[in-house]
Amino acid sequence: AARGCGGIWRQARQRGAGWPGPGPGPFPRRQRAVAYNARGGAVPAGKSGLAPWVPVVGLEIHAQISSNSKLFSGSQVQFAAPPNSLVSFFDASLPGTLPVLNRRCVEAAVMTGLALNCSINKKSLFDRKHYFYADLPAGYQITQQRVPIAVNGSLSYSLCIDKKMSQMVTKTVRIKQIQLEQDSGKSLHDDTRSQTLVDLNRAGVGLMEVVMEPDMCCGEEAAAAVRELQLILQTLGSSQAVMAEGQLRVDANVSVHLPGEPYGVRTEVKNINSIRFLAKAVDYEIQRQIEELENGGTILNETRAFDSKLGCTVPMRDKEGKQDYRFMPEPNLPPLILYDAKSLPANMNHQQVINIDWIHERLPDLPSVKREKLVEQYGILPEHSFTLLNEDGLAEFFESVVKQTQMKPKKVIGWILNDLLSYLKQHSLTVKESPVSSFLLADLLNLLEKKEISSTAAKQVLAELWKGEGKTPLEIVKEQKLELLQDQKELEQICQAVIDGQENE
């Protein structure tokens, strides 16, 4: 670890950069002693109170495109396949091979661009970015440096501004551009045998690089923005966006400055493997820079890696100092031309053209729209709509239960969030893996709604249902005699019997 890291780490821990357990989503608890608030304004740094530092955070996100084959070759795309089993001649950069653009990847980028309110460039270009690295077989990466496929978009995301997560604010980050580019392979360094092993399965897989403007000011905001992007990508199906599998990779550019002064020197933080770590890494880096500056130091324009075990960022060994990527137009690919309804040529083979309007019309409901609909249709709280969408399949589960029961959606949501979700979290299950189907839960809630059982009994039945023994709620109720008695005479008899018993004593 780098010098001074331990001391700062203790401070960072004191700041409690924790993750709120099974709570609603990725929003870390508000942290004290940091020089920002959720509205992005500068506030005095908690610790010294000397200077009101303004942190600035921008993100560069690489999202692996979900497609059957790679960006420029026919090789399959698959996670965790045997090393070098998915490598075409082009992927291995055999001399004389040429790139052939994958239509699906272009469509995914257009969808993503539209969902992020970008203007789609009807003509975009490909460039070569040169550097020598073992997992970059051609010695260059094909990317879109000059004219990317989508530009000037925005992403709205929400985050809680209090600890109880009951008050949310919506913020917007500008999207500078989305560019199509090739992924690299993977190098595995075997230090003991001083060997480097190269796996080219990932080489040439399509990536969308989403460049966000530095409109954020803390880890929490960065995390919320990325989480929203992740949901959008998953809704579109343009990327599976699973960070743990490297389908979504986030680099954070962080700087701090004093109000009214130009932006400070920024550092780039890499090696962030989860949204939780993103919040931690950004906040750590902000704090580190503030402390560095307040102690009279300077910030170097460097690349730092986040060490998730130590919870701090450390300088990365720079690949031979400053790189000049010697960008050059990719001569083997003609400009990428997209059409809209207006510009679509009449006698063009539809297999050969991509119609932006056609894709636009078929975009699915985005998470923000889905949430609004949920709130409007079912009268649930906005923050509940966030929780519903944060878990894959949970909103659908909720809606399915609502459809099958007479219980009011506002009441159903309690059962979904407090009972179902916490059970699933406790047992690390996904919604799809839930032992209780929406049908069974609806059945149970109907019994409750019809007052056939009490709510305490309902919890008992649910506890039984988790076992997944295939019994219906009604069967369990009968077995365990949990019914509420509704027959006046029977109740009178019972009461009488109790009273009689008392008298006999």
Partner 1 sequence: AALKDGLRSQVSAALKEGRVTPTELCQRCLALIKTTKFLNAYITVAEQIALKQAEESEERYKRGQPLGILDGIPIAVKDNFNTTGIETTCASNMLKGYISPYNATVVQKLLDQGAVLLGKTNLDEFAMGSGSTDGVFGPVRNPWSYSKQYKEKSVPKSHSEDEESNWVITGGSSGGSAAAVSSFTCFAALGSDTGGSTRNPAAHCGVVGLKPTYGLISRHGLIPLVNSMDVPGILTRCVDDAAVLLGSLAGHDPKDSTTIQDDFKPFELPNLTDVSKLSIGIPKEYHTPGLSSEILALWSKAADLFKNAGAKVVEVSLPHTRYSIVCYHVLCTAEVASNMARFDGLEYGHRSDMKDSTESMYAATRREGFNGVVRGRILSGNYFLLKQNYEKYFVKAQKVRRLIANDFVKVFRSGVDILLTPTTLSDAAPYTEFIQEDNRTRSAQDDILTQAANMAGLPAINVPTALSERGLPVGLQFIGRSFQEKQLLTVAKWFEKQVQFPVIQLEEVKRHDSDVFQHQKSASFS
Residue 353, interface with partner 1 (CB under 8 A)? no
Helix (H, G, I), strand (E, B) or coil at 435: coil
CB atoms within 10 A of CB 355: 18
Listed ranges 9-17, 97-105, 279-287, 307-315: which one lies at the site for partner 1 (CB under 8 A)? 97-105
Is 133 or 439 the residue whose CB approaches partner 1 more closely? 133
Residue 335, interface with partner 1 (CB under 8 A)? no
Helix (H, G, I), strand (E, B) or coil at 350: coil
The CB-of-19 to partner 1 minimum distance in angstroms stands at: 39
Residue 351, interface with partner 1 (CB under 8 A)? no
Binding partner 1 by CB under 8 A: which of 100, 429, 491, 499? 100
Is 140 or 397 the residue whose CB approaches partner 1 more closely? 140
Is 94 or 169 the residue whose CB approaches partner 1 more closely? 94
Binding partner 1 by CB under 8 A: which of 24, 25, 26, 99? 99
The CB-of-300 to partner 1 minimum distance in angstroms stands at: 21
Binding partner 1 by CB under 8 A: which of 29, 60, 292, 327? 327
Is 79 or 89 the residue whose CB approaches partner 1 more closely? 89
Residue 139, interface with partner 1 (CB under 8 A)? yes
Residue 137, interface with partner 1 (CB under 8 A)? yes
**Hey, which bits of 183-335 come out as E strands?**
186-190, 195-199, 206-212, 248-257, 267-272, 303-307, 312-315, 328-329
**What gap in Å lies between CA 126 and CA 273, rounded to an integer?**
29
For 416, residues 6+ apart whose C-beta sits below 8 A from its C-beta are 388, 394, 397, 398, 401
Listed ranges 224-232, 243-251, 324-332, 475-483: which one lies at the site for partner 1 (CB under 8 A)? 324-332
Backbone angles phi, psi at 336, to 5 degrees: -85, 115
Tally of helices (H runs) and strands (E runs) in the chain: 14, 16
150-160 and 140-143 strand pairing: unpaired
For the chain, give the longest Cα–Cα distance: 103
Length of the chain: 505
Listed ranges 225-233, 330-338, 463-471, 489-497: which one lies at the site for partner 1 (CB under 8 A)? 330-338
**What gap in Å lies between CA 9 and CA 288, rounded to an integer?**
10
Residue with tokens 């580019």: 181
Is 127 or 283 the residue whose CB approaches partner 1 more closely? 127
Residue 333, interface with partner 1 (CB under 8 A)? yes
Sequence-ordered alpha helix ranges (H) in 76-151: 103-115
Is 46 or 334 the residue whose CB approaches partner 1 more closely? 334
Residue 326, interface with partner 1 (CB under 8 A)? yes
Residue 55, interface with partner 1 (CB under 8 A)? no
Residue 89, interface with partner 1 (CB under 8 A)? yes
Residue 98, interface with partner 1 (CB under 8 A)? yes
Contact in structure between 343 and 122 (CB atoms under 8 Å) = yes
- Tokens read off for 219: 């880890």
Contact in structure between 401 and 379 (CB atoms under 8 Å) = no
- Interacting residue ranges for partner 1, rule: CB under 8 A: 89, 92-101, 128, 130, 132, 134, 137-140, 196, 198, 320, 324, 326-328, 331-334, 352
